Amino acid sequence: MLDDALTEVRELLLAPGLTRAVAAGRRRGFTPSVTRAEVRPVTLKGGPRLQIVTDDGSRPFTRNVAPGAEASAAIDELLAEPFGNWHVSTDTVTLQLRVTKKGEAQVHRAAAAPTPAPATDGHDRQKQWLLDPGDPLFEVIGGNAAKRRQIDAFLRALAATLPSELPSPLRVVDLGCGNAYLTFAAYRYLAGRGVSVQVVGVDVREDQRVRNTAVAERLGCADDVTFVAGTIEEVSLPFEPDLVLALHACDTATDQALARAVEWRAQWTLAAPCCHHDIAAQLKGRPAPAPFGELTRHAIMRERFADVLTDSLRAALLRLNGYKVEVVEFIDSAHTPRNLLLRARRTSTPPTEAQQAEYESLTSEWGVTPALEKMLR
């Protein structure tokens, strides 16, 4: 049974319709020589190739093999590894093979999802996943479909922010990492780009550190993905990160994340804020400058305006500290109302006098001092 299933996997891997395949996990009593392998077709200058990325738990290794005998031999080597799971997607079928404790094959086949229609109205309607939702990673880290979609959208924004050539090693911190869905997904995505990646997840909760460390061990990436229990404002990291991530860190924890990113001189920062109480509380009970009284008269309007003002001031402060900043929606608001993303790239450009004056006049007109400003002082 297992041999038949592996023969079917082999045929799909070598067929022209292959989109992507991932092997991971291990069979009972066996340990593959690599923790994970990913196979996908690529087109290089020399023509079509099969790209095989294997990960030995410390770093990914990429090779591109020519179709024909070279690809067949490389695929046979991979199929001989005692992986516990294979997930293969082609343009017509998705096949999942799981090897049971008894060494038998459990195969699930489904028709491939139809390719989304191209956008016709200028909006990005692309539905494809950056990280395959069938990736065995998700079996270990858990999370529901909505969380997967959110994480994938965040990764998409990350992909759009990073340059094509990444530093290696690439040092990453995920601040307020919680259950570490993003931490692991970012690691998997970045390691798949062929660079060595070191990620630290930071959360104030010790129980999260213990849980997440155990997950890293199960995924075979505990040397590269580590966790620290501590506060964002005080945590000390084993390195100065190139990339700072913060997804829905509560209230001013987002400000702390941005302040640390500036302090670490991180090259890239992506922060999706959560609730905003700091500026909202400062606006409450004080008159708005004329003629903007209507903006804060009603509680709901004041709250929404406070959200906008908070993130505008965050963007302005990052700009004053040498970052080029974009504020975008990283996912449709139907998925999460907290869908705004501040993404910043360090340029070290000093602020202009006009930028400085604009910031000062905005904060003094509204009588607010953002938490981030105090942290950056």
Give least dist CB 109 to ligand SAM, A: 32
Specify the pairing of strand 340-346 against strand 268-272.
Answer: antiparallel
Residue 259 CA to residue 280 CA, distance in Å, equals: 20
Residue whose C-alpha is closest to residue 48's, from 27, 25, 28, 71: 71
Does position 157 interact with ligand SAM (CB under 6 A)? The reply is: no
The reply on whether position 213 binds ligand SAM by CB under 6 A is: no
152 makes contact with ligand SAM (CB under 6 A): no
Q: Evaluate the omega torsion of the peptide bond into residue 238 and state whether it is cis, within 30 degrees of 0.
A: no
Asked if 375 interacts with ligand SAM (CB under 6 A), we say: no
CB 261 within 8 A of CB 292: no
Q: Under rule CB under 6 A, which residues in 235-254 are in contact with ligand SAM?
A: 247-250, 253
Among 85, 89, 256, 296, binds ligand SAM (CB under 6 A): 256
The radius of gyration of the chain from alpha carbons, rounded to an integer in Å, stands at 24
Q: How far is the CB of 229 from ligand SAM (least distance, A)?
A: 9
Spatial neighbors of 293 by CB under 8 A, at least 6 apart, are 287
CB of 173 to ligand SAM, least distance (A): 11
The residue of the chain with the least Cβ separation from ligand SAM equals: 178
Regarding beta strands 47-55 and 60-65, do their DSSP bridges make them parallel or antiparallel, or are they unpaired? Answer: antiparallel
Of 22, 330, 317, 337, which is closest to residue 182 (Cα–Cα)?
330
Residue 142 as a binder of ligand SAM (CB under 6 A): the answer is no
- Which window, 2-10, 45-53, 201-209, 345-353, contacts ligand SAM (CB under 6 A)? 201-209
Residue 219 in the binding site for ligand SAM (CB under 6 A):
no
Instruction: Give whichever of 182 and 266 is closer to ligand SAM, judged by the CB atom.
Output: 182
210 interacts with ligand SAM by CB under 6 A: no
User: Considering the rule CB under 6 A, would residue 232 count as an interface residue with ligand SAM?
Assistant: yes
Residue 98 beta carbon to ligand SAM: minimum distance, rounded to whole angstroms = 27
CB closer to ligand SAM out of 198 and 256: 256
Cα dihedral sign for 208, 196, 58, 143?
positive
Q: Which is nearer to ligand SAM, 50 or 180 (CB)?
A: 180
Residues in the chain: 377
The reply on whether position 255 binds ligand SAM by CB under 6 A is no
Nearer to ligand SAM, 55 or 135 (CB): 135
In angstroms, rounded to a whole number, what is the distance separating the alpha carbons of residues 184 and 371? 29
The answer to the question of residue 231 lying near ligand SAM (CB under 6 A) is yes
Shortest gap between Cβ of 350 and ligand SAM (angstroms)? Answer: 30
Q: Which of 8, 55, 203, 307 binds ligand SAM (CB under 6 A)?
A: 203
* Given 182, 191, 341, 372, the residue binding ligand SAM (CB under 6 A): 182
By CB under 6 A, the count of residues binding ligand SAM is: 19
Which member of 40, 59, 205, 335 binds ligand SAM (CB under 6 A)? 205
Cβ 253 to ligand SAM, closest distance in Å?
A: 4
